[in-house]
Amino acid sequence: MANFNPWSETKVDSTAENRGPLLGISGEKDHTVPWAIVHASYKKQSRNEHAVTEIIEMPGRGHSLTIDGGWREVCDTALAFVKRFV
């Protein structure tokens, strides 16, 4: 609801000091949530000086990153990111 009501309790606090690491993953051929949208979110979140924020674009991938063929590459990328922080 934060998209419709900026005072919603579901609004994301991009400055939260206790926010964990965040990885944005985009598919190069994603027309549903294109790179421009993912990158804009990344730019906003990366202003948080207390938390790691990274972004990656998966070459040749569309919106269905984890259900199309090649999903293991996407999962391996995400898992490598998570392993850096646990």
Which tens digit of pLDDT belongs to each residue from 26-82?
Answer: 999 999 999 999 999 999 999 999 999 999 999 999 999 989 888 999 999 999 999
* Whole-number Å distance between alpha carbons of 76 and 18: 25
Whether residue 80 contacts residue 58, with contact meaning beta carbons closer than 8 Å, is answered with: no
Domain that holds residue 41: 22-83
Asked if the structure places residue 3 within a domain, the reply is: no
In a domain, 13, yes or no: no
Domain-located, residue 55 = yes
Q: Is residue 1 part of a domain?
A: no
Give a yes or no: residue 16 inside a domain: no
Give a yes or no: residue 17 inside a domain. Answer: no
- The pair of three-digit structure tokens given for residue 28, joined into one six-digit string: 């190069």
In a domain, 32, yes or no: yes
Reported confidence tier of residue 3, pLDDT bands at 50, 70, 90:
low
Tokens 């549903």 belong to residue: 32
Q: How many domains does the chain contain in total?
A: 1
